Chains A and B, each alone.
Chain A
Amino acid sequence: MRDLKPWLDLIFRRPGRLVVGGVLILATLLSGIGLLAVSGWFITETALVGLLLAAGVAATINLYVPGGAIRFFAVSRTVFRYLERVYNHDTVLRLLTDIRVALFQRLSRASRVRRGELSGAQWLSRLTSDVDSLDTLYLRLIAPTALASLVTLLVVILAAVLFDIGTALLVGLLLVIALVIATVGVYLRTWRLAARQSDRQEELRTAVIEHIEGFSELTAAGRTGKHAAWLMRQAHHVTSEQAKADTRVGWHLAGSHLFVNLSAVLALWAGFVLFQSGSVSGPVLVLLPIALLGLAEVYAMLPDAFGKLGATVASAARLNRDCRDEEKPAATAAPELPPKTAVLAENIAVKHDGYAPLFTRFNLEIEDGDRIGILGHSGSGKSSLADVLAGLLPTAQGRLVCKDCVYLTQKTVLFEDTLRANLLLGSPEASDTELWSMLEQMELAERFAMEPDQLDTWLGSAGSRLSGGEARRVALARVLLNPAPLVILDEPFTGLDAETRTRVSKRMETLLEGRTVVSLAHGPDALPGTDRVIYLSG
């Protein structure tokens, strides 16, 4: 449950909205209960007065107050329900924004090493569903529980005022039992099942994917049927656990409903005793049990929400784990670079957590304006070295000082956004002219001049699809727009044909005039112009 705390804090940062939303729900609930209770009171009152009138006794009845109240509650229930739904839906969407933004900020602070393990499609889709389960926490769980408790309290007070303290306490006791069955009871009986559900489903997914990937081999060996039967059993296991949780929620709902009903019976019984002793009138006697029956609707939302709480807590725990801040090495005062030096690495070791070091005792000194090429076959640790130089990966030992740098990663990363937005990442202040001229240099100007939206062409899956080489050049353009004095390029020309590569490479000479360039590639023809080449032997 502690895992929920950071997210609850986030949700409670909008107290005003939460309170207004809660008040609207309360008004809806009270209108519903009020409508029935007052109607019951009214019918009993008129029945009694009607009997007197029929018997010829002069009796009066105030029709306006109850009649008005009934009409008011009928309308207010509808109006409040509508307002509540609109208002709270808006709140949910706002909370969704808050949670996404907060999560994004936390993820961007978390160390990259962890994120590296967690960037697969499966992790991303799980992240989405985890976030989704948090954004309804308020509307499904917090508000209904708080309001159910509040309404219960109000009804118990009403019982104390209309009947007596003893009855009120007994009714209160039954209602508390109903409330516990609908909330804590459900949680205790389902949290294990619910928390496991997501993990189970992921395990099942892995197994299904393995089954499909091995389908040829399994078919050849005549084992698809057997293996599928095993999969079906696994799936059935997941399903039946879910069915078990569902059934428990159902029984708790029924149980809590039963106790609410019993409290109405109790109120009626106690009411009769009071009625016959003359301390309570007939209409008031009717009012309380009917109001109590109405409570069932208030409690009805709870079991389902508490049945999912276990899964929500598990979601929160996963999110907390994924974006926990890694202990950062104490920021020592950055040592000064010797004059005219862009990179100074002394005796550094490059190492990923849990793996053998890729390099130890690596030394490198690069002077201002130098063009260095680093060559090595795949798996030799080039990209890790680039990550270290760019400061993405901490050095395991030794001393490394670099100037401000801009880094083209081996993987081309473009955002589902406009071309302009993608380019402006490199240089937020760049003018359209500068962007076009850079596109010209990368031989992309013609390509995008033909698009109807020009610089506002949407990139990514929903928009115009770029070829691998085009995407690479957009990423390269973005890097070259950035004025940092040190430029690190990891396989800059992936996906470019030889001719384009030669032309672009030539133009980069001028574009990078006066800046220090470190390029990494698998072969010499994949490097831009260099003064010096270092070979890595893995």
Chain B
Amino acid sequence: MAEPRARGGGENTSATDQRAVKGWLGNLARGSQLWIRSTVAAGTVAGIATIIQMVLLARIIHLGVIDEVPVADLTPLFLGLILAMVVRALGQGFQTRFAARCSEQVRRDARRQLHKHWQATGPVELGQSSAGTLAREWIDHVEALHGYFARFLPQMTLSMIVPLLILALLFWLDWLAGIFLLLSAPLIPLFMALVGMGAEKLNQQHFETISRLSGQFLDKVRGLTTLQLFGQTAGAAELIRKRSDHYRRVTMKTLRMAFLSSAVLEFFASVAIAVIAIYIGFGLLGYITYGPSEDLTLFSGLLILLLAPEFFQPLRTLSQHYHDRAAAMGAGTEILERLETPVNLESTTEMASVEGSQERIELRSVSKNFRSDQLVLRDLTLTIRKGDVIALTGPSGGGKSTLLHLLAGFLAPDAGEIHLFGEAPGTFRFGWLGQKGFLVHGTWADNLRLTTPDASDIAIETALRNVGLGSVLDSRKQGIYSPVSEEGQGLSGGQARRLSLARIFLADYDLILLDEPTAGLDSDSEVFVLEALRKLAVAGKTLIFSTHHQALLTLANRVLLVSGGEVRDA
């Protein structure tokens, strides 16, 4: 589902969570205060223009019908009326414009926050969540904030301001009519709660049904081939129909109730208008002998009638936007969960007390454990000379990757110090090759310039040839400027890893860390990777890699056995 799980007010969200999410949304709103205020201001201008429009309309009708003023004399009023209408339209237009700008800025802020968190989390911890999930948070969940900031939040303020303005005017015109309206909406908050309860339930119910149905549907689509093989597609179609129909009936039962709450709002609005119309009519006829009705004129009577629907309109708009709030709460909960995952990397950069030799990598009594009980590296002290080629070997789960991650600065040690050529991990650029190659949509040049933006065309081509991608490159029409994955010509896993290796060649790093550089490679790629690593070693780079591969072990001039929290020369 592209939509985030909307579960605002649902059973799974505790009250504290809700408060935290509200707080977070509030902080985002504060960052875009200017735009929110402008939106509300534009909405208020439109509201006031509406009131003026109604006043002029009632005035014109009164003058024309009761006082029988010739129509030509009413021209200034007519012009004023048109002006009010134009101002109202401008107000409405600017309201959406400012609202769109506000939401734009909020989404940018939220994305920035998420990305900052990613950076603080570091690649290792980040790898615990799937790229798809992280992308969904960054794209879809942030998008789900749009309606809340563009529509709901400004409307919330407007649905207080505009009705109060109208109410004030009504009390001035005829306090009894004012009381009618006030009674029909005894307390605006009560109304909002009613609307909210209904809308929230409705939204939740609708959402659950839809997502359950699409789950069922997608499951069948995914297994379509299997269904075809057993000749059961017709049966499955029938099943989709039956299940959908069943859910429809269940959902409709709840919806019939949920719609009642908005019907209540509708009912009060309609009845209030009817009661006011009849009250004014009788007042004008002189049938009502008490209260302010004696002073009623066609002007005030008509104005009250015209303003009554405008009194309810902001509330009705708010109820239409209520689902925006639920969506934002749901998305906010998940984003906040991400932002609140503790990060353990922040200390790394501050640890940068520059000491130790520039010619050595030094680890001093470094310990690292995952969870409190599981010690991965214990009190490790190790020195590696510049230009060494180090192979880390040992059983899987023995701590090879952890050691590499510590050296890379992707993880911070629990105790001890690490200095790489006199600097702290993560403070300088180095080469990293993970088990999965990494490539982006684009040309070969785009992919290599990702890490070395100013590389020349020749350097890029040389780097690609160094990792044995020359033949692939020759088969492409535009050389390094052809897309990496053309139709039907994607890269194999081995080729992707070689592409990543080419980046390292191009960037000319002093230190290169590689996590199992040959694991799972086809024999062609293996040969090229070995050859490339040999070239890097000859060039005097410091290479540290984890491996079980015999050919790689012989490439190393020092083999370290990492096992049971300890590291020793093999």
Interface residues of A, Cβ cutoff 8 Å to B: 35-36, 38-40, 42-51, 53-54, 61, 63, 66-67, 70-71, 73-75, 77-78, 81-82, 85-86, 89-90, 93-94, 96-97, 100-101, 104-105, 107-108, 112, 115, 119, 121, 124-129, 131-132, 201, 203-210, 212-228, 231-232, 235-236, 239-240, 242-244, 246-247, 249-251, 253-255, 257-258, 261-262, 264-265, 268-269, 272-273, 275-276, 282, 285-286, 289-290, 293, 354-355, 390, 392, 406-407, 409, 413-417, 425-426, 428, 460, 478, 482
Does B191 reach chain A (CB closer than 8 Å)? no
* Chain B contacts for A38, CB-based, 8 A: 277
Query: Is chain A's interface secondary structure helix, strand, loop, or mixed overall?
Result: helix
Does B230 contact A247, Cβ atoms closer than 8 Å? no
- State which of B92, B138, B235, B286 has its C-beta within 8 Å of the C-beta of A208: B138
Does A47 contact B298, Cβ atoms closer than 8 Å? yes
Interface code B112-124, partner A: CB below 8 Å = 1, 0 otherwise?
Answer: 1001001100111
- Closest residue of chain B to A71 (Cβ to Cβ) is B274
Does B225 contact A392, Cβ atoms closer than 8 Å? yes
Interface code B84-114, partner A: CB below 8 Å = 1, 0 otherwise?
Answer: 0110111111011101110110011001100
- Closest residue of chain B to A294 (Cβ to Cβ) is B309
* Chain B contacts for A53, CB-based, 8 A: 285-286
- Chain A proximity of B215: nearest CB distance (Å): 7
- State which of A46, A81, A129, A240 has its C-beta within 8 Å of the C-beta of B281: A46
Supposing A105-B237, A108-B224, A235-B139 touch, asked if A212 and B61 sit within 8 A by C-beta, the answer is no
- Closest residue of chain A to B224 (Cβ to Cβ) is A108
How many angstroms between the C-alpha atoms of A35 and B452 in the bound complex?
71
- Residue of A36, A216, A242, A406 with highest tally of chain B CB at under 10 A: A216
Given contacts A96-B210, A254-B91, 6 further A-B contacts (CB under 8 A): A100-B213, A125-B1, A128-B1, A242-B100, A243-B101, A255-B93
- Chain B proximity of A67: nearest CB distance (Å): 6
Supposing A124-B218, A124-B221, A354-B488 touch, asked if A216 and B432 sit within 8 A by C-beta, the answer is yes
17 residue pairs A–B, Cβ–Cβ below 8 Å: A35-B273, A39-B305, A42-B278, A46-B282, A63-B281, A77-B270, A78-B267, A97-B244, A129-B2, A212-B118, A217-B451, A220-B513, A242-B100, A258-B86, A269-B78, A390-B229, A413-B223
Does B535 reach chain A (CB closer than 8 Å)? no
* Chain A contacts for B377, CB-based, 8 A: none
- From 1 to 53 in chain B, residues with beta carbon under 8 angstroms from any chain A beta carbon are 1-3, 53
Does B245 contact A86, Cβ atoms closer than 8 Å? no
Does B459 reach chain A (CB closer than 8 Å)? no
Supposing A265-B82, A275-B64, A415-B219 touch, asked if A208 and B273 sit within 8 A by C-beta, the answer is no
How many angstroms between the C-alpha atoms of A75 and B271 in the bound complex?
7
Supposing A218-B451, A354-B488 touch, asked if A276 and B68 sit within 8 A by C-beta, the answer is yes
* Chain B contacts for A415, CB-based, 8 A: 219-220, 223
Does B100 contact A224, Cβ atoms closer than 8 Å? no
Does B430 reach chain A (CB closer than 8 Å)? yes
Interface residues of B, Cβ cutoff 8 Å to A: 1-3, 53, 57, 60-61, 64-66, 68, 70-71, 74, 78, 81-82, 85-86, 88-93, 95-97, 99-101, 103-104, 107-108, 111-112, 115, 118-119, 122-124, 126-127, 131-132, 134-135, 138-139, 146, 150, 209-210, 213-230, 232-233, 235-237, 240-241, 244-245, 247-248, 251-252, 255-256, 259-260, 262-263, 266-267, 270-271, 273-274, 276-278, 280-282, 284-286, 297-298, 301-302, 305-306, 309, 408-410, 426, 428-434, 436, 438-441, 450-453, 487-488, 500, 503, 507, 513
- Chain A proximity of B468: nearest CB distance (Å): 19
- State which of B230, B237, B441, B453 has its C-beta within 8 Å of the C-beta of A207: B441
Supposing A104-B221, A220-B430, A251-B93 touch, asked if A282 and B65 sit within 8 A by C-beta, the answer is yes
* Chain B contacts for A276, CB-based, 8 A: 68, 70-71
Supposing A39-B305, A44-B61, A220-B431 touch, asked if A74 and B271 sit within 8 A by C-beta, the answer is yes
- Chain A proximity of B230: nearest CB distance (Å): 5
Does B245 contact A217, Cβ atoms closer than 8 Å? no
Q: Which 8 A-B residue pairs are closest in the complex by CB-CB distance?
A: A250-B96, A220-B432, A39-B277, A214-B438, A74-B274, A243-B100, A97-B244, A221-B451
Does B123 contact A216, Cβ atoms closer than 8 Å? yes
How many angstroms between the C-alpha atoms of A101 and B239 in the bound complex?
9
- Closest residue of chain A to B431 (Cβ to Cβ) is A220
- Chain B proximity of A21: nearest CB distance (Å): 14
Does A206 contact B277, Cβ atoms closer than 8 Å? no
* Chain B contacts for A44, CB-based, 8 A: 61, 65, 298, 302
Does A247 contact B96, Cβ atoms closer than 8 Å? yes
* Chain A contacts for B263, CB-based, 8 A: 78, 81-82, 85
* Chain B contacts for A93, CB-based, 8 A: 209, 244, 247-248, 251-252
Does B61 contact A268, Cβ atoms closer than 8 Å? yes
Does A232 contact B488, Cβ atoms closer than 8 Å? no
- Residue of A127, A246, A478 with highest tally of chain B CB at under 10 A: A246
Supposing A217-B434, A354-B487, A425-B226 touch, asked if A74 and B305 sit within 8 A by C-beta, the answer is no
